[in-house]
Amino acid sequence: MRAGPLPHRDETDTERLDRNLIELLQEVRVVQTGVQVLFAFLLTVPFSSRFDEITGFQRGAYFAALVGTAAASVLLIAPTSVHRILFRRGQKEYMVELSNRLAMGGLVALAIAMIAAMLLVSDVMFGMAVAIVVGVVTALAFGLVWAGVPLRRRRAIARHEPKGRP
Protein backbone atom coordinates (compact mmCIF):
# COMPACT_ATOMS: atom_id res chain seq x y z
CA MET A 1 0.00 0.00 0.00
CA ARG A 2 1.77 3.07 -1.15
CA ALA A 3 0.89 6.52 0.06
CA GLY A 4 0.07 8.98 -2.62
CA PRO A 5 -2.52 11.37 -3.91
CA LEU A 6 -6.06 10.22 -3.43
CA PRO A 7 -7.86 9.23 -6.61
CA HIS A 8 -10.18 11.94 -7.84
CA ARG A 9 -13.91 11.21 -7.72
CA ASP A 10 -16.16 12.70 -10.30
CA GLU A 11 -18.87 13.92 -7.91
CA THR A 12 -20.39 17.23 -6.93
CA ASP A 13 -20.07 18.62 -3.41
CA THR A 14 -23.66 17.54 -2.75
CA GLU A 15 -22.96 14.00 -3.96
CA ARG A 16 -19.83 13.87 -1.81
CA LEU A 17 -21.76 15.02 1.26
CA ASP A 18 -24.51 12.48 0.57
CA ARG A 19 -21.92 9.69 0.25
CA ASN A 20 -20.06 10.83 3.37
CA LEU A 21 -23.23 10.89 5.45
CA ILE A 22 -24.38 7.49 4.21
CA GLU A 23 -20.95 5.97 4.94
CA LEU A 24 -20.85 7.51 8.40
CA LEU A 25 -24.34 6.29 9.31
CA GLN A 26 -23.46 2.79 8.08
CA GLU A 27 -20.30 2.75 10.21
CA VAL A 28 -22.22 3.92 13.27
CA ARG A 29 -24.86 1.24 12.67
CA VAL A 30 -22.15 -1.45 12.89
CA VAL A 31 -20.73 -0.10 16.17
CA GLN A 32 -24.14 0.43 17.80
CA THR A 33 -24.84 -3.30 17.93
CA GLY A 34 -21.72 -3.98 19.99
CA VAL A 35 -22.49 -1.06 22.30
CA GLN A 36 -26.04 -2.27 22.84
CA VAL A 37 -24.89 -5.82 23.68
CA LEU A 38 -22.28 -4.55 26.15
CA PHE A 39 -24.76 -2.12 27.71
CA ALA A 40 -27.39 -4.85 28.12
CA PHE A 41 -24.85 -7.12 29.77
CA LEU A 42 -23.69 -4.37 32.13
CA LEU A 43 -27.25 -3.54 33.13
CA THR A 44 -27.77 -7.12 34.35
CA VAL A 45 -24.57 -7.36 36.42
CA PRO A 46 -25.81 -5.57 39.58
CA PHE A 47 -28.65 -8.05 39.82
CA SER A 48 -26.37 -11.08 40.02
CA SER A 49 -25.99 -12.76 43.39
CA ARG A 50 -22.24 -12.00 43.69
CA PHE A 51 -22.40 -8.28 42.89
CA ASP A 52 -22.47 -7.33 46.59
CA GLU A 53 -19.14 -9.12 47.06
CA ILE A 54 -17.10 -7.05 44.58
CA THR A 55 -14.24 -4.83 45.73
CA GLY A 56 -14.13 -1.06 45.48
CA PHE A 57 -11.82 -1.33 42.46
CA GLN A 58 -14.21 -3.70 40.73
CA ARG A 59 -17.14 -1.43 41.52
CA GLY A 60 -15.22 1.49 40.00
CA ALA A 61 -14.32 -0.52 36.89
CA TYR A 62 -17.94 -1.62 36.54
CA PHE A 63 -19.20 1.95 36.87
CA ALA A 64 -16.61 3.22 34.35
CA ALA A 65 -17.74 0.54 31.89
CA LEU A 66 -21.40 1.41 32.46
CA VAL A 67 -20.88 5.17 32.08
CA GLY A 68 -18.61 4.66 29.05
CA THR A 69 -21.21 2.46 27.39
CA ALA A 70 -23.99 4.95 28.14
CA ALA A 71 -21.86 7.77 26.74
CA ALA A 72 -21.03 5.69 23.65
CA SER A 73 -24.75 5.03 23.17
CA VAL A 74 -25.58 8.73 23.39
CA LEU A 75 -22.80 9.77 21.03
CA LEU A 76 -23.24 6.98 18.48
CA ILE A 77 -27.02 7.31 18.26
CA ALA A 78 -26.84 11.12 18.02
CA PRO A 79 -25.98 11.23 14.28
CA THR A 80 -29.30 9.55 13.52
CA SER A 81 -31.14 12.10 15.64
CA VAL A 82 -29.23 14.99 14.06
CA HIS A 83 -30.08 13.65 10.62
CA ARG A 84 -33.78 13.25 11.43
CA ILE A 85 -34.11 16.71 13.02
CA LEU A 86 -32.21 18.52 10.26
CA PHE A 87 -33.61 16.42 7.39
CA ARG A 88 -34.33 18.56 4.30
CA ARG A 89 -33.02 21.73 5.93
CA GLY A 90 -29.94 22.16 3.72
CA GLN A 91 -27.59 21.28 6.57
CA LYS A 92 -25.83 18.24 5.12
CA GLU A 93 -22.28 19.61 5.52
CA TYR A 94 -23.02 20.53 9.14
CA MET A 95 -24.56 17.07 9.74
CA VAL A 96 -21.51 15.29 8.30
CA GLU A 97 -19.03 17.34 10.34
CA LEU A 98 -21.00 17.09 13.59
CA SER A 99 -21.81 13.41 13.13
CA ASN A 100 -18.15 12.64 12.47
CA ARG A 101 -17.19 14.32 15.77
CA LEU A 102 -19.98 12.51 17.62
CA ALA A 103 -18.91 9.16 16.16
CA MET A 104 -15.27 9.76 17.13
CA GLY A 105 -16.35 10.63 20.67
CA GLY A 106 -18.54 7.53 20.74
CA LEU A 107 -15.60 5.35 19.72
CA VAL A 108 -13.45 6.82 22.50
CA ALA A 109 -16.24 6.21 25.03
CA LEU A 110 -16.66 2.65 23.74
CA ALA A 111 -12.93 1.98 24.06
CA ILE A 112 -13.00 3.27 27.66
CA ALA A 113 -16.02 1.08 28.42
CA MET A 114 -14.40 -2.01 26.95
CA ILE A 115 -11.12 -1.41 28.76
CA ALA A 116 -13.04 -1.02 32.03
CA ALA A 117 -15.04 -4.20 31.32
CA MET A 118 -11.81 -6.10 30.66
CA LEU A 119 -10.38 -4.75 33.93
CA LEU A 120 -13.47 -5.85 35.84
CA VAL A 121 -13.65 -9.34 34.38
CA SER A 122 -9.91 -10.02 34.66
CA ASP A 123 -9.79 -8.77 38.25
CA VAL A 124 -12.70 -11.03 39.23
CA MET A 125 -11.14 -14.00 37.45
CA PHE A 126 -7.41 -13.58 38.08
CA GLY A 127 -6.75 -10.73 40.53
CA MET A 128 -5.48 -7.18 40.39
CA ALA A 129 -2.01 -7.80 38.88
CA VAL A 130 -3.38 -9.66 35.87
CA ALA A 131 -6.23 -7.13 35.54
CA ILE A 132 -3.78 -4.26 35.27
CA VAL A 133 -1.76 -6.06 32.59
CA VAL A 134 -4.94 -6.95 30.69
CA GLY A 135 -6.20 -3.36 31.01
CA VAL A 136 -2.93 -1.89 29.70
CA VAL A 137 -2.73 -4.39 26.83
CA THR A 138 -6.37 -3.70 25.92
CA ALA A 139 -5.81 0.06 26.00
CA LEU A 140 -2.69 -0.29 23.84
CA ALA A 141 -4.58 -2.50 21.38
CA PHE A 142 -7.35 0.07 21.02
CA GLY A 143 -4.83 2.88 20.70
CA LEU A 144 -2.79 1.05 18.09
CA VAL A 145 -5.57 -0.45 15.96
CA TRP A 146 -8.22 2.27 16.25
CA ALA A 147 -5.91 5.31 16.19
CA GLY A 148 -2.24 4.52 15.57
CA VAL A 149 -2.54 2.58 12.31
CA PRO A 150 -4.99 4.96 10.59
CA LEU A 151 -3.15 8.06 11.85
CA ARG A 152 0.14 6.69 10.56
CA ARG A 153 -1.45 6.14 7.16
CA ARG A 154 -3.01 9.60 7.26
CA ARG A 155 0.43 11.17 7.89
CA ALA A 156 1.96 9.15 5.02
CA ILE A 157 -0.76 10.33 2.66
CA ALA A 158 -0.39 13.95 3.82
CA ARG A 159 3.33 13.91 2.95
CA HIS A 160 2.44 13.08 -0.67
CA GLU A 161 -0.54 15.40 -1.12
CA PRO A 162 -0.20 18.64 -3.02
CA LYS A 163 -0.02 21.70 -0.77
CA GLY A 164 -3.38 23.29 -0.01
CA ARG A 165 -5.40 20.07 -0.19
CA PRO A 166 -7.47 19.34 2.93
pLDDT band at 57 (very low <50, low <70, confident <90, very high): very high
Average pLDDT for the chain: 91
Q: How far is CA 7 from CA 14, 21, 51, 151, 166, in A?
A: 18, 20, 54, 19, 14
pLDDT band at 10 (very low <50, low <70, confident <90, very high): confident
Q: How far apart are alpha carbons 93 and 80 in whole angstroms?
A: 15
Residue 163 CB coordination number (10 Å): 4
Residue 102 CB coordination number (10 Å): 21
Judged against a pLDDT cut of 80, whether residue 73 lies above it is answered with yes
- The whole model's pTM is what? 0.85
Question: In this structure, are residues 143 and 98 in contact, taking their beta carbons and an 8 Å threshold?
Answer: no
- Residue-wise pLDDT tens digits, 99-129: 999 999 999 999 999 999 999 999 999 999 9
